Structure 1
Amino acid sequence: MSTAFASTDRLVVRRFRDEDVPAFAAYRSEPEVARYQSWTAPVPPVEARRLVTEFAAATEEMPGWFQYAVELRAEGVLIGDVAVCRDENGRRAELGFTLAPAYQGRGYATEAVRCVLNRLFDAGLHKVCAECDARNLASARLLDRLGFKREGLRREHTWLKNEWTDDMLFGLLARDWRVS
């Protein structure tokens, strides 16, 4: 069984595998990666193994969270992940993404998220949503680049890591994706 869902000249977007645990633990343990995320760095190896095992066993089409591994084709190494939470109705999903610091700023995250969006909209989704901490300008720029529309700002909405944070809300409709 192939673990690849999509690929580009530079990346493979695939299912997680056991051998991803060390790289996953490493980038998820970076303080700058965890800064705007729900987890706290470092991510212990035992927790990384539990998560990767859970990700590898998940079913892509089912409601709930599914995590795509992002592999750099040339090096064959895990460099990040894209998370999708499908609604029960099967027509809407929420999106998130994480990339190792050494690979940021090179267009890899945009490329990986584009692969996942193609997959979601080809499967018949009507809308994909995303939200990010308002201070996370790099993530907001990525969503803008991909055609997401800013739909709102929830002021001091999330209590995260001992502070209130503002959440920027984004949405992308299938009809807008098709024309981009």
Structure 2
Amino acid sequence: MTTLTTPRLIVRPFREADLPAFTAYRNDPAVARYQGWALPYPAEAAQAMLSGRALGEDGWVQRAVTLPDGTLLGDVALNTHGPQAELGVTLATHAQGRGYAHEALTALIAHAFAVLGLHRLHAGIDPRNEPVTRLLTRLHFRHEGTHIQSYWHRGEWTDEATYALLRSEWTHDPTQDLH
């Protein structure tokens, strides 16, 4: 299984020991506010994170984002479909605002383009999630459009903004802008 490392983080397959912390932050209403999973987040769904699937396989593949000491901070994911993939990121409340999402996604994007050879990455987000909007912009994703009231989520019609980045646009120097 592929493990990605950055100056501060390890992005690796989930382990059984991660599941209680994973389930806890997935059930945090502040973390789940703009995410698509149902609440409460069931333990069975957390157990599915132990799938052993490789990054780049078709469908969603999640990876734990941890500190070197093993502390779980959150997760990143690729939903690969042919030469493209949707990406996602979720961090526990205590890990937000410290540059961890940027650092983990930078490693994931570099892997997706350089190792997996993907052509395009995209993300669909609730545009009210301003921190993620800023994050994707800092990662050089372009806003491709917003679908107005396009899906029913947590009792209301919700917009979805799409951001994307082509491999030919990815000119990231891995030593710059990690935080």
Q: TM-score, normalised by structure 1?
A: 0.89
For structure 1, the 5+ residue unaligned runs are none
State the percentage of identical aligned residues.
Answer: 44
User: Following the alignment from structure 2 to structure 1, what is the Cα–Cα distance between the partners of residues 12 and 84?
Assistant: 21
Q: Which residue of 2 aligns with 1:53?
A: 50
Q: Which residue of 2 aligns with 1:104?
A: 96
After TM superposition, list the pairs within 5 Å mapping 1:93-132 onto structure 2. 93-122=85-114, 123-132=116-125
Assess if the C-alpha contact under 8 Å between 1:127 and 1:171 holds in 2. yes
Assess if the C-alpha contact under 8 Å between 1:5 and 1:14 holds in 2. yes
User: Following the alignment from structure 2 to structure 1, what is the Cα–Cα distance between the partners of residues 127 and 168?
Assistant: 26
For structure 2, the 5+ residue unaligned runs are 174-179
Q: Structure 1's 179 and 8: CA in aligned 2 closer, same or farther, altered over 3 A?
A: closer
Q: Which residue of 2 aligns with 1:161?
A: 154
Assess if the C-alpha contact under 8 Å between 2:9 and 2:104 holds in 1. yes
Quick one: which amino acid aligns to residue 113 of structure 2? F
Secondary structure at 1:96's aligned position in 2?
Answer: strand
Quick one: which amino acid aligns to residue 52 of structure 1? M
Structure 1 residue 33: Cα displacement: 0.7
Structure 1 residue 76: Cα displacement: 1.7
Q: How many residues align?
A: 172
Structure 1 residue 39: Cα displacement: 1.6
Q: CA deviation digits over 1:155-180, x for unaligned, max 9? A: 00011111100111100011111256
State whether structure 2 residue 76 is matched by structure 1 residue 82: yes
Q: TM-score, normalised by structure 2?
A: 0.90
Structure 1 residue 61: Cα displacement: 2.7
User: Following the alignment from structure 1 to structure 2, what is the Cα–Cα distance between the partners of residues 46 and 172?
Assistant: 33
State whether structure 2 residue 10 is matched by structure 1 residue 12: yes
Q: CA deviation digits over 1:48-78, x for unaligned, max 9? A: 2x23333xx22323211111110012x4211
Assess if the C-alpha contact under 8 Å between 1:4 and 1:12 holds in 2. no
User: Following the alignment from structure 1 to structure 2, what is the Cα–Cα distance between the partners of residues 45 and 26?
Assistant: 10
Secondary structure at 2:147's aligned position in 1?
Answer: strand
Quick one: which amino acid aligns to residue 48 of structure 2? L
Quick one: which amino acid aligns to residue 62 of structure 2? Q
